[in-house]
Structure 1
């Protein structure tokens, strides 16, 4: 039922992309999602190019399926990683925080599919003109860096605005979310938060437990004043950050507070002063599973729901 043109384009069985989460989405997680029939993604973030190369090598050892690399275009290492994916024969690149236009010809020559993440119709149109193969329309329900529009509002408007496949992202964590995204016109979905508690996800157990114990109102957005809003789970760091924002603290002070905070949470398990990025969907997640079980469960649920609608 969900074998879309997007699946054919990327050569995957299920139209699902695993979200690019810095310090979290490594070669092990990417390979597990790809082996499950989706598209696993390695997040390069601001990591050294040697780290990204190591993760690509790890993914190749663990899967013979397509996987991708996410490139944050404003990162200091963006150009190096843009060249690395060509050298390593990576099949797909997802991008954020910038325009991939300057790398597009190079990627196309290496038969790389380019899928930018966007938070507005205007940016979606610009990415299509730049040569993107598909678009990820991400609503503000997502964890990490976000835009202003909700998935419910953004997704159908992007679908109407472009002629290339659109992938829905933000607030999707079960079969209901999958079905809803497809009803809004998506040809695929991107999921991040649910994969945080995957057995193959290598983040600290403290992080996984915080996600599992979270409730519907436990995520907050910090950084709106800096122009870089980020959705995280509440803790001492988020409260301190919001307090400083209300006091109109200098941006430098806010940036210093957040520096290295995601790594603290993801790798060191610091749930007090670490940045625990997760989406609003976290309150729905209540069990650890393999990536295979997560993917199959979500699409089985979605197919059941759609079939029920069709039989009414």
Structure 2
């Protein structure tokens, strides 16, 4: 299936595996890339040296294009951009809008720039600055999220910009891909669906918690860092919501120190990153400190497997996912179902029943 996205980044299928911190490492990214999707390496929790090693590891596992997700407001963003350019990374994605200067630097080096946004005005801004495409995430998506549903936000952005738009938030199968294409998107981006694959390094106990969740078990809370954050509702999340602000800040300060050691950042650099984080977002210093705490809460679950001491960012689609296919099986099944849906649209009265792992008709052989 050829779209503006596949032509832009050189992948076989209009599917993006998003850059999830502690989750989107070399194994998952290379598996997604080998499956024909655009794998995106999450770098925010890596030191620059580890980022370079991770890029080289992905390169050793696949010849397919892949991307790296960066924090545009990080104090060492320029150094990380230099690594991408030197290592020949095809795509740079951003969780926050990169500056006009950063976009220009990447494009001059031949890197495709794809920021993620949650509002039409942000898409218009980065498009005007020269971004090559944009990922737009609706409120159904995991992690930090907004209030506007994908089905409302996506057509707004498609109508507002003249660059390829990739839809995120609520996608997990071929039907969703076709729906996104119908809205005018050039593809879909999925996080939770790729997290729940056999190629994901997330501990089995954590995957089991996701698979056991219903749609009602995926909630939005401000208890982690003061910002709306979509995740699985657990006893630990409930305890964070009950904790007073003073107690939360003490714990956050302790974990921020732990993140400093893991990330290799100095305290002055973390302060500068905090200032950048506050800029234009009306965050209090308490929220900045809590935000620095978030990576360690995610690591506790996604790396250490401690669902009792960590948080599990999640899209609402976790409530409808019940299997752990490989990335190859996932993408093959998704594209097979998308093809079937497109065929069925020309034959009214039919209902697609494709198995997402095999691409075969679920009703075959039944009366």
TM-score (norm 2): 0.80
For 2:300 and 2:95, locate their aligned partners in 1 and report how far apart those are by CA, in whole Å: 23
CA-based RMSD: 2.1
Equivalent of 1:286 in 309, 312, 322: 322
In the TM superposition, residue 170 of structure 1 has moved relative to its aligned partner by: 0.5
For 1:203 and 1:225, locate their aligned partners in 2 and report how far apart those are by CA, in whole Å: 21
Task: Trace 1:128-207 onto structure 2 (pairs within 5 A).
Answer: 128-207=127-206
In the TM superposition, residue 89 of structure 1 has moved relative to its aligned partner by: 0.6
- Deviation string 1:87-126 (CA, Å, 9 cap, x unpaired) is 1110001111233322122211211000000101100000
Q: Secondary structure at the match of 1:307?
A: helix
Distance 1:256 1:133, change over 3 A: closer
Match of 2:211 in 1: 212
Task: Trace 1:286-305 onto structure 2 (pairs within 5 A).
Answer: 286-305=322-341
For 2:70 and 2:240, locate their aligned partners in 1 and report how far apart those are by CA, in whole Å: 27
In the TM superposition, residue 140 of structure 1 has moved relative to its aligned partner by: 1.3
In the TM superposition, residue 240 of structure 1 has moved relative to its aligned partner by: 2.0
In the TM superposition, residue 242 of structure 1 has moved relative to its aligned partner by: 2.4
| 8 A contact 1:48–1:77 mirrored in 2 | no
Q: Secondary structure at the match of 2:158?
A: helix
In the TM superposition, residue 158 of structure 1 has moved relative to its aligned partner by: 0.2
For 1:245 and 1:118, locate their aligned partners in 2 and report how far apart those are by CA, in whole Å: 31
Distance 1:133 1:205, change over 3 A: same
For 1:197 and 1:51, locate their aligned partners in 2 and report how far apart those are by CA, in whole Å: 24
For 2:185 and 2:43, locate their aligned partners in 1 and report how far apart those are by CA, in whole Å: 26
Distance 1:255 1:114, change over 3 A: closer
| 8 A contact 1:241–1:254 mirrored in 2 | no
Match of 2:235 in 1: 236
| 8 A contact 2:225–2:294 mirrored in 1 | no
In the TM superposition, residue 217 of structure 1 has moved relative to its aligned partner by: 0.7
For 2:2 and 2:83, locate their aligned partners in 1 and report how far apart those are by CA, in whole Å: 31
- Is 1:275 equivalent to 2:311 in the alignment? yes
Q: What is the number of residues matched between the two proteins? A: 311
Q: Larger Rg: 1 or 2?
A: 2
Match of 2:266 in 1: none
| 8 A contact 1:15–1:38 mirrored in 2 | yes
- Deviation string 1:239-291 (CA, Å, 9 cap, x unpaired) is 12222479997636855864611000011001112111111000111111110
For 2:17 and 2:167, locate their aligned partners in 1 and report how far apart those are by CA, in whole Å: 12
In the TM superposition, residue 188 of structure 1 has moved relative to its aligned partner by: 0.8
Match of 1:308 in 2: 344
For 2:302 and 2:88, locate their aligned partners in 1 and report how far apart those are by CA, in whole Å: 28
Task: Trace 1:1-312 onto structure 2 (pairs within 5 A).
Answer: 2-223=1-222, 228-244=227-243, 251=286, 254=290, 258=294, 260-312=296-348
| 8 A contact 2:66–2:90 mirrored in 1 | yes
| 8 A contact 1:221–1:230 mirrored in 2 | yes
Deviation larger for 227-236 or 165-174: 227-236
Q: Secondary structure at the match of 1:286?
A: coil
**Unpaired stretches in structure 2, ≥5 consecutive residues:** 250-285, 349-367
Q: After TM superposition, which residue ranges in structure 1, 4 or more long, deviate above 3 angstroms? A: 224-227, 244-259
In the TM superposition, residue 77 of structure 1 has moved relative to its aligned partner by: 3.3
Distance 1:227 1:127, change over 3 A: farther
For 1:156 and 1:272, locate their aligned partners in 2 and report how far apart those are by CA, in whole Å: 39
In the TM superposition, residue 8 of structure 1 has moved relative to its aligned partner by: 1.1
Distance 1:255 1:112, change over 3 A: closer
| 8 A contact 1:119–1:148 mirrored in 2 | no
For 2:103 and 2:293, locate their aligned partners in 1 and report how far apart those are by CA, in whole Å: 35
